[in-house]
Chains A and B, each alone.
Chain A
Amino acid sequence: MTTSLPRRHRLLLRVYPPSFRERYGDELRALAEDASPSPRMALDLALGAARAWTRPTFGGKVEQRQRARLLATILTVFWSWSLVLLALASFSKMVNDPPLPGMRAPLTHAAFQLSQVAFGVSAALIGVGALLYGAVIAAGAWRDHRLRTLLPATLPVGVGLAWLGLSWVLSWWLLHFALGHRVPLPAAVGLVVLLLVWVLASVALAPICWVSIAVAMRRASLSVRLLRPGLIGAVAVVASLVVVVGAMAVTVASLGGPGGLPPNLVNLLLVYGVLPFAAVMTGIALISVRRGLRTNRQIFSLPPSPGAVAGDSQHPLL
């Protein structure tokens, strides 16, 4: 018996990863409609979606699966890198702007500088990768008359420009206030609304960038040959992130002595909170790179490692 799905179930079907929806979406929906929708089914779909995101497997033809895996690794490393960027920026502001007394110690200073340099290396790699892939995608879209594939990539540019415009208007208004000019009530209300829009745009900018870059890269259908250099770049970025997190840890540890961290809770949470956050993000990137490398090894058809069960250590029945 086919029934129409409740809104909650339809929403849960939409939160599955795009590659999963592309391959199994219609079948999954048909089965959910054939069975009776219930809260238990909603929970099952939610857990299934969570698993599909955290432990992705890619069905379809071999080439399609390899492409999806390599692309997932490159995007995961990019997202993790951008979150480590936020963590490192907060960390640097906290310990070095102005510098805490403990920052003058040679070890602390060296560790902090190392975290900055290592992150700079990773940023340069990301920048070069973004330029190269941008050029490849744009050239391919131009050659094949598929300029529509570039549309998602223009979204962050539009939102970024709007954000800059809003920032300029807000700065002008705030300067107006600071100079002691009288502002009529409707203008003050408008200012508050603008401020709210600016905050929302600031929060949304990063996710919009992540999603639109992912959509543009998926639509470009880059071949395995083109994605492999990205995987090598991702390995180098993750290696840099490991150095960043290690250097941050040494900085925090060497700051912990007398004259180091100011003993208030917010400072402690900021400094010690961003470190585990950066470590978790780097760990996620590391796991994703490992899976990408395993796929890369399969592309070259190297013999499986000794003792592998049924051709793979991640056997679905074990």
Chain B
Amino acid sequence: MKQPGRPSWRDPGLLVLSTLVEGPRHGYSIVQEVRKQAGITLGPGTLYGALSRLEAFGLVAGLPADGRRRPYRLTDKGRQTLEAQLDAMARFLRVNGHLEEGGLFNAVLGTTGGA
């Protein structure tokens, strides 16, 4: 269960922000990138719920629509928030020893062949 204040890898808002780091994307492209990065398929309701919250808080901004598709870009505030969130996650993993040698995180990365 989600706990307030605890970073979550599966948070749709975080996943959406991370896909926009390299540049603006529209809804379908965000869904594909999230699937590629995290293996999670965001439904349209979940994606636009997250986008509406992120836009309301000024973390992403909509660009002019291309037909029925509107690309979204990361704002400066969104970039800072994403960095702060990733830092919090890294701290969480470090404190719990998962980033140390022999830690769970490195063990998992080793198994999957990650960096």
Instruction: Give A residues with C-beta under 8 Å from B.
Output: 20, 23-24, 26-32, 34-35, 40-41, 43-49, 51-52, 57-60, 65, 310-312, 315-318
Question: A310 to B81, Cβ gap below 8 A?
Answer: yes
Contacts of A317 in B (CB 8 A): 11, 13-14, 17, 81, 85
**Most chain B CB within a 10 A radius of its CB, from A48, A58, A317:** A317
**Among candidates A27, A60, A311, residue contacting B48 with C-beta atoms closer than 8 Å:** A27
**Interface residue stretch chosen among B38-46, B90-98, B107-115:** B38-46
Contacts of A35 in B (CB 8 A): 28, 31, 43-44
B54 lies within 8 A of chain A by Cβ: yes
| B residues contacting the other copy or chain, number (CB 8 A) | 37
Question: B43 to A318, Cβ gap below 8 A?
Answer: no
Contacts of A43 in B (CB 8 A): 43
Query: Roughly how many angstroms separate A178 CA and B50 CA in the complex, as a whole number?
Result: 62
Q: A27-B27, A30-B67, A47-B46 are in contact. List 6 more A-B contacts (CB 8 A).
A: A26-B65, A35-B44, A45-B45, A57-B53, A58-B52, A59-B51
Q: Is the interface of A mostly helix, strand, loop or mixed?
A: helix
**Among candidates B13, B14, B52, residue contacting A24 with C-beta atoms closer than 8 Å:** B52
Query: Roughly how many angstroms separate A32 CA and B80 CA in the complex, as a whole number?
Result: 31
Question: Known: A316-B57, A317-B11. Is A59-B52 also a contact (CB below 8 A)?
Answer: yes
**Among candidates A48, A58, A310, A315, residue contacting B45 with C-beta atoms closer than 8 Å:** A48
Query: Roughly how many angstroms separate A41 CA and B50 CA in the complex, as a whole number?
Result: 16
B27 to chain A, nearest CB (A): 4
**22 pairs across A/B with beta carbons < 8 Å?**
A20-B48, A24-B51, A26-B68, A27-B48, A28-B27, A29-B68, A30-B27, A30-B69, A31-B27, A41-B43, A44-B44, A44-B45, A46-B45, A47-B45, A48-B43, A52-B49, A57-B52, A57-B53, A57-B56, A316-B56, A316-B59, A317-B11
Question: B44 to A318, Cβ gap below 8 A?
Answer: no
B47 lies within 8 A of chain A by Cβ: yes
A317 to B, closest residue via Cβ = B13
B62 lies within 8 A of chain A by Cβ: yes
Question: B52 to A20, Cβ gap below 8 A?
Answer: yes
Question: A31 to B57, Cβ gap below 8 A?
Answer: no
B5 lies within 8 A of chain A by Cβ: yes
B11 to chain A, nearest CB (A): 6
B55-84 vs A, Cβ < 8 Å mask (1 yes, 0 no) = 111010010010111100000010011001
